[in-house]
Structure 1
Amino acid sequence: MSLHKHPELKEAVLRLPQKEKDKLLVRLIGKDKMLMKQLHFQLLEDQVDLADRIEGLKQQLSTLLSDSRNRVKNLPVFSSYKELHAVLRQASGLINEHEKITKDRFSEVECRLLILKEAFERYPRLFEGSALYSAQKLKEYTKGRVKTTINKYEKLHEDLQFDLRELADAVREFAEEKQLA
């Protein structure tokens, strides 16, 4: 149910006494974990906490990619394609959550570029041509990630782009070489 479809309910809620609205608000916030995380960040954290969050995210991504070495081999076989695809999706999920909470575009783009570059460097053979369905699926997913990430990179302020240029160029170069761009 959406409030914009029920204007009478919205008006009734707005007419409630402040104390009642506060109780309802606190109850509703408790039911939505993402909203709770967003409010915690907005109301209780500052730039130092943001830097800590970014470092924590980078550490999580690094650990995820390091742990993948045991499961993903740089060999063009079904299991490697499937596992790398799963790792990239999991990493993307971590970055999505970070972005939803902090709204920090720079760290989002930086982390996306980092995971793409890391995957390209560690597993270059998995991005070569293959007739396997899992290889095509990985390639299409990666193609989408590259396109989205480069678009977000290009929307950043030019000073921020300068800070990420080396990473972005490395990702672009590999993506163009492997026809992922």
Structure 2
Amino acid sequence: MPEFDAAHLRTALRKLPEKEKDALLLRSVRRDAEWRATLAYELLPEVTRDTVYEAVSGRIHELLTDVSGYQLARFLTKTLKKAIAEINYARRITGERALEIDLFAYLLRELFDNYSGQLDSQYTLFYKAVAKLVIRLIKLIQKYLHEDLWLDYESEIADWLRQLRARPHRATELGLELPIGLQP
């Protein structure tokens, strides 16, 4: 599809009659689920940050409870990618980094509460994915939240880093540099 200049597209949309604009909008909403969700979040009062959080955390919980199999660490790594995609979807819909941070914290809570034993698996990918997720959460918190709000996450992150450091052979084996904690 060729690229179109945004200014020309805007002027063309302004020239359209209201009836055609409405039809075009409805047709676009029917075709694109993400845009439909974004419009629902922006326009409907019953779709709030909390409802989006509940829906996405519910899907993450379903993804993690459906994990089973002989090579659990491998399946968890695949599921982790799907969960991260859900979190990114929620951020694109709402545009809120605080929601993204809360969902990453929820995901890490679920992983460390239910699957921390898999960090010792012979498949190092799960350990690496979880460590990168903790590092990503730390960077998001430092970049997008005020320092006063860091306290909400500080103890959990310290615990997660302690659990990751309890396996020193993994971090050095994979060349990961784990941060000390939430420090500016």
- Give the TM-score of the pair, scaled to structure 1: 0.74
Structure 2 match to 1:85: 77
Q: Give the distance between the partners of 2:8 and 2:84, measured in 1 at CA.
A: 40
Q: For the Cα contact (< 8 Å) 1:61–1:91, is it kept in 2? A: yes
How many residue pairs get aligned? The number is 168
Cα distance per residue 1:112-158 (max 9 Å; x no partner): 1232233234333432374xxxx233333333322222211212122
Cα distance per residue 1:59-104 (max 9 Å; x no partner): 3333433443xx15xxxxx712211112222222222222222223
Higher relative contact order (CA 8 A, sep 6+): 1
Task: Please state how far the C-alpha of 1:58 moved relative to its aligned partner.
Answer: 2.9
Structure 1 match to 2:58: 59
Relative distance call for 1:56 and 1:7 in structure 2 (3 A) is closer
Q: Give the distance between the partners of 2:51 and 2:28, measured in 1 at CA.
A: 28
Q: Give the distance between the partners of 1:103 and 1:168, measured in 2 at CA.
A: 24
Question: Which ranges of structure 1 fall in alignment gaps of 5 or more residues?
Answer: 73-77
- Identity, % of aligned positions: 26
More helix by share: 1
Among candidates 141, 150, 155, match of residue 166 of structure 1: 155
Among candidates 119, 130, 151, match of residue 127 of structure 1: 119
Q: Secondary structure at the match of 1:3?
A: coil
- Deviant stretches of 4+, over 4 Å: 6-10
AA aligned to 1:55 is E
Structure 2 match to 1:12: 12
Q: Give the distance between the partners of 1:9 and 1:114, measured in 2 at CA.
A: 41
Task: Please state how far the C-alpha of 1:34 moved relative to its aligned partner.
Answer: 0.2
Task: Please state how far the C-alpha of 1:8 moved relative to its aligned partner.
Answer: 4.7
Structure 1 match to 2:181: none
CA RMSD of aligned residues (A): 2.8
Structure 1 match to 2:43: 43
Q: Give the distance between the partners of 1:111 and 1:7, measured in 2 at CA.
A: 36
AA aligned to 1:83 is F
Structure 2 match to 1:3: 4
Task: Please state how far the C-alpha of 1:10 moved relative to its aligned partner.
Answer: 5.0
Structure 2 match to 1:75: none
Q: For the Cα contact (< 8 Å) 2:41–2:94, is it kept in 1? A: yes
- Give the TM-score of the pair, scaled to structure 2: 0.73
Q: For the Cα contact (< 8 Å) 1:110–1:164, is it kept in 2? A: no
Q: Give the distance between the partners of 1:53 and 1:10, measured in 2 at CA.
A: 30
